[in-house]
Structures are given as structure tokens and as C-alpha cells.
Amino acid sequence: MINRARLCKTLILKWCNIHLPSGVCVALCLSLVMLGCDPDSSKTQNNTLEESEVSPPQNHNNNESTKHCVMDGVNNADENQDCAEKEDLQGTCFDGIQNQNEEAIDCGGECERCPAPDEFFADLSSGFQHNCAVQSDAHLRCWGKNEFGESDVPEGSYTQVSAGFNHTCALGEDRSIYCWGDNSYGQRDYPAGHYQAIGAGGYHSCALDEYGTIECWGKNSDNQLGKPSGSFVEISAGFNHTCALDIDGHVRCWGGADSLQNTEANTYTSISSGSYHACAIRDDQGIDCWGQYSKRSTPRGTFQSVSAGHHYTCALTTDASIHCWGDTPFARNTEFEGKYVSVSAGAYHACGVKINGTLQCLGENPFGQLSFP
């Protein structure tokens, strides 16, 4: 018999691997596993104990014998308030694997409770002093500084978000652009059309349309709107510059600061613009950075993704740890504990999505940017 839940997940994940960044796909995968809760999963997954080997659960509410998270806030059969009964699983929490008595990846057993559906995050962006995150149900939440309405999200469903200096831009499920917040230089006067990526900078914004062509709008004092021609797959806006990754893996930057021109003869898989510097992940999973302060203490190792902030950078290693470095007390003194699927660096704070789909923010907190509402 065809397992329709698993087939659905497989098809969705194949689509997202083509159209979405890897961190988003991982978060989406976690959400699908948690939300799908396939009743047959205990019989079909290779790393799940046979029914005869599983200890009988305590405090059953009914006669169900199949173990699965039902995230309804009720203590159902085999659950402890949406999680399995706790057992001795030292060392298996947050290892990125669905172990024998976990209900999903790092959920249940001795791990933390299973997050509710709206606690999962499919996309995350830290602006200068505010953050925004797209939840697994396509709702978008912003928090932190709101002097210009940059955290006042218009009603709708979203797939991607970029938090800038004092404004925010996002892509809706209809692939249209939506921007809000400060509009001193027309940085939220977005164009019509269908788009695949968005980047909000200091006082300008840029996006990739459905064909990979760049569109920019807003302030142009440093040629921020002097977009290059060609076809691109990723875009990231800094304070007064923008960098984009073309279909051949080459980085193109334009706007302010001549030092932002990358002199490395490499090809890349992802790009991130900070206030006055940029970093990219090479094909060999190492990191190159250029611009102000960028050459200081750039780490060795292998990385999945990178996020350039205000005079510092954070990156996600291939073992799912977050490492930050740079010329700020935050970068020198802050350590993210645990395993993560994504990270986003702001001005003096950064946020990461944990491997179980929940959020953690660290750093300075003058506008409540560390506290998800």
C-alpha cells in the first residue's frame, strides 16, 4: 500500500531542494516530520525499534499502540504532553538523528518537548535591531525595534523574509514582494511581478525575479541600484551595497566601498552581505570574506551557511554548530550551544533555528530583539 503521507513529504522536499536554500529545506523537513506524524512510521523507519522491543508507555489515555506526536496540547497515548515518555537517552538529544524512541528528529524521549506547529521556523532574518521569521504555517512574525513600523507585518502568508536597517521586505506565497517600515528613500516601493529571492539593505532593497534577473529600488547615493546583468540564484543586501551569486557560482557585488570587490578566484554556493563586508561559502565548504574587518580571524573548517552582520560574522558548521567571529564584544564573547539548521546575524545580536525547529537569540537586547513574541 502506498504511504500517502510519506509520498507527500518526499515530493515536497524534492521541490524545496530545487527552489529553496538548504537551511529552509531542513526546517521544512522537520516541520513535515512533526506535522505529518505518519501512523505507519514506527513500522517503516529503519532506526525504530520493533513493537515488541518498546517498553509499554505509562498513563495511556486510550488503547493506541502506535507511537507518534500529536501536537494538540493533549496528553495522548504514548505521549507526555505532545512528547513520548522520557527514557534514558543521554547524548541523543539534538544530534540530528531520529533515535529509537524519539517521535521525530530530536523530539521526544529524553529530549525537549515537541514544539507546537507554529513554533517551527522555515526562514529567519535578523535586521539591524529587529528580527523576522516565517513560521511553518506561513505566518510571519517580526519583533524588536519598531520605530518605523519595521516589525508591523501586513496580514498574509509568506515564504521568505529579509530584515533591513529600518524596513523589512518579504515574499508572499503568491511570489509577490511586500515591504514595510521606513520609506525615506523609497526602499519599500517594491516592483510588481513574481520573485524568487529578496534582500533588504540599509536604505535600498533588491530582489531576483522568477528568471533570476536583479531588480533594485531605494537610495542610490553609492550606486546601490547599479545592478549587474545576468542570471542569479541568490542575493543579499548590505548597508550600502549588494552582492549576488550567479548561476555559475560567481559573486558580483555593487554599491558602496571599493573594498567589497571580491578578489578570490573561487566559486561559491551561498553569499551574505553585512553592513560593510560580505562572506561566501566556497565549493569546498570553506569561507571567504572581504570588505571592512573581514580578513580578521576568518575561521578554518567546513561550513553549511554564513551570515554577515555589523562588523562580525556567524556561520553554521557542517556539524550543525554556530561559530561567530569579528570585531564586536558579541562575536568574541557569545557562544551558541546545541545544534542548529540556520543562523542570522544582526547588528549586536544573532538568532539561530535549532535542529528541533525552535528559535534562540543571543546578544544585546535594547529593543526586545532577543524575545520572540
Encode 348-366 in three state secondary structure: CEEEEEECCCCEEEEECCC
pLDDT interval class at 161 (50, 70, 90): very high
Question: What percent of the chain clears pLDDT 90, i.e. is strictly above it?
Answer: 55
pLDDT value at 247 more than 60: yes
The sheet with strand 277-282 has its strands ordered as 268-273, 277-282, 287-291
Count of CB atoms situated within 10 Å of the CB of 242: 29
Q: Report the predicted TM-score, pTM, of the whole model to 2 decimal places.
A: 0.72
Higher pLDDT, 117 or 42: 117
pLDDT in tens, 28-51: 444 444 444 343 333 333 333 222
Give 3: exposed, middle or buried? Use CB within 10 Å, 0-12, 13-18, 19+. Answer: middle
pLDDT in tens, 150-160: 999 999 999 99
pLDDT in tens, 165-221: 999 999 999 999 999 999 999 999 999 999 999 999 999 999 999 999 999 999 999
- Kind plus residue range of the DSSP H or E element containing 35: helix 22-36
SS3 78: coil
- Rounded mean pLDDT of the chain? 78
pLDDT interval class at 332 (50, 70, 90): confident
pLDDT value at 284 more than 90: yes
Higher pLDDT, 297 or 1: 297
C-alpha 243/C-alpha 227 separation (Å) is 10
Residue 332's nearest CA partner among 279, 290, 291, 293 is 293
C-alpha 221/C-alpha 204 separation (Å) is 10
pLDDT interval class at 145 (50, 70, 90): very high
C-alpha 19/C-alpha 48 separation (Å) is 31
The label of the residue with cell 514544539 reads: 115
pLDDT interval class at 338 (50, 70, 90): confident
Cell reading at 96: 540530528
Identify the weakest region by mean pLDDT among 53-57, 306-310, 339-343, 360-364: 53-57
Q: What is the set of domains in the chain, with CATH numbers?
A: 118-305 (2.130.10.30)
C-alpha 111/C-alpha 12 separation (Å) is 27
pLDDT in tens, 53-101: 223 223 333 333 333 444 444 444 444 444 433 332 344 555 666 776 6
pLDDT at 356: 75
Identify the weakest region by mean pLDDT among 153-157, 214-218, 232-236, 336-340: 336-340
pLDDT at 263: 61
Higher pLDDT, 136 or 230: 230
Question: What percent of the chain clears pLDDT 70, i.e. is strictly above it?
Answer: 66
